[in-house]
Amino acid sequence: MSSGSDDFNDDSPQSGSHKQFKFTINNGMVTQVFEFKDGSYQSKSIDADDIYTVDANGVVEHREPKPFGTEITRYADTDGSGVYNRISEQWIGDGFELKDDLKYLPTDGDDFIAVRGGEDCHGGRGSDDFVIREASHLRIGDFFSDDDTLVFDTGLGLTSKDHLASFIHEIRQEGDNFIVDFGPGISITLVGVHPDQISWDDVSVLS
């Protein structure tokens, strides 16, 4: 593999940013959801099969049916500002091999980090597994080959590293970033990584 660059679409964040949300909560029930996008908070529809709950600590949990099972996403307002960030996700179903919770906010330990389109992804001080489950423009801000691993757990029938490699359209270095391009709308950017700092030994395919 080789290094990545700033190859992202109009919805991609600036370096270090995370998606932000606001919730209208009445009597412990979420009645409205807003996502910060294109410079303002925009309303998101709540479908009939979406389930939102709020726990005693104010953490919002969203359960949403997906093709591979049920996605459970948790949001927290960590500073009391009324702005919520995703803190973790979990999947219930048979689509993915990895059953552990994926974190959006890393710790000093070894974490499974969710890599999602539309925001920068960062690990912590430990040896982190960056878990890729969607085809999008993805960006990882602090990948360290000596400690970290790229884990492909897509549920799309990938069988091996060779199978994954067969979908690569281009590998290129742009400035200090390493980009793996899988075609229109799909890429992985590793910020600050150069070709001699990553290899297929740093990749794992689970599905």
On whether both 9 and 24 belong to a single domain, the answer is: no
Residue 81 resides in a domain:
yes
Among 73, 103, 133, the domain boundary falls at: 103
Q: Which residues contact 159 (CB under 8 A, 6 or more apart)?
A: 205
Query: Average pLDDT for residues 165-179, to the nearest whole number?
Result: 96
Among 48, 69, 103, the domain boundary falls at: 103
pTM over the 0.95 mark: no
Q: Report how far residue 123's alpha carbon sits from residue 106's, in angstroms, rounded to the nearest whole number.
A: 5
On whether both 85 and 71 belong to a single domain, the answer is: yes
Residue 113 resides in a domain:
no
Q: Report how far residue 143's alpha carbon sits from residue 121's, in angstroms, rounded to the nearest whole number.
A: 9
Residue 76 resides in a domain:
yes
Residue 109 resides in a domain:
no
Residue in 103, 90, 96 with CA at minimum distance from that of residue 61: 90
Q: What is the pLDDT of residues 28-75, one digit of tens each?
A: 999 999 999 889 999 999 999 999 999 999 999 999 998 878 999 999
Residue 97 resides in a domain:
yes
pLDDT recorded at residue 182 = 96
Q: Report the domain count for the chain.
A: 2
Q: Report how far residue 90's alpha carbon sits from residue 6's, in angstroms, rounded to the nearest whole number.
A: 28
On whether both 63 and 131 belong to a single domain, the answer is: no
On whether both 70 and 145 belong to a single domain, the answer is: no
On whether both 26 and 13 belong to a single domain, the answer is: no
Q: Report how far residue 35's alpha carbon sits from residue 9's, in angstroms, rounded to the nearest whole number.
A: 18
Least confident piece of the model among 10-14, 127-131, 137-141 = 10-14
On whether both 9 and 43 belong to a single domain, the answer is: no
Select the more confidently predicted residue: 165 or 124: 165
Q: Over pLDDT 70: what percentage of the chain?
A: 92
Residue 85 resides in a domain:
yes
Cα dihedral 98→33→20→127 (10° resolution): -10
pLDDT recorded at residue 6 = 36
pLDDT recorded at residue 44 = 95
- Exposed, middle or buried: residue 192 (CB in 10 Å: 0-12, 13-18, 19+)? middle
Q: Over pLDDT 90: what percentage of the chain?
A: 71
Residue in 36, 82, 93 with CA at minimum distance from that of residue 60: 82
Which structural domain, as residue segments, surrounds residue 25? Answer: 19-103
pLDDT at 2 over 60: no
On whether both 70 and 3 belong to a single domain, the answer is: no
Residue 111 resides in a domain:
no
Cα dihedral 38→120→94→47 (10° resolution): -20
On whether both 127 and 207 belong to a single domain, the answer is: yes
Residue in 65, 135, 76 with CA at minimum distance from that of residue 104: 76
Q: What is the pLDDT of residues 93-138, one digit of tens each?
A: 877 888 889 999 888 899 999 999 888 899 988 899 999 998 999 9
Confidence band of 9 (pLDDT split at 50, 70, 90): very low
Residue 173 resides in a domain:
yes
pLDDT at 1 over 70: no
pLDDT recorded at residue 13 = 37
pLDDT recorded at residue 11 = 39
On whether both 85 and 50 belong to a single domain, the answer is: yes
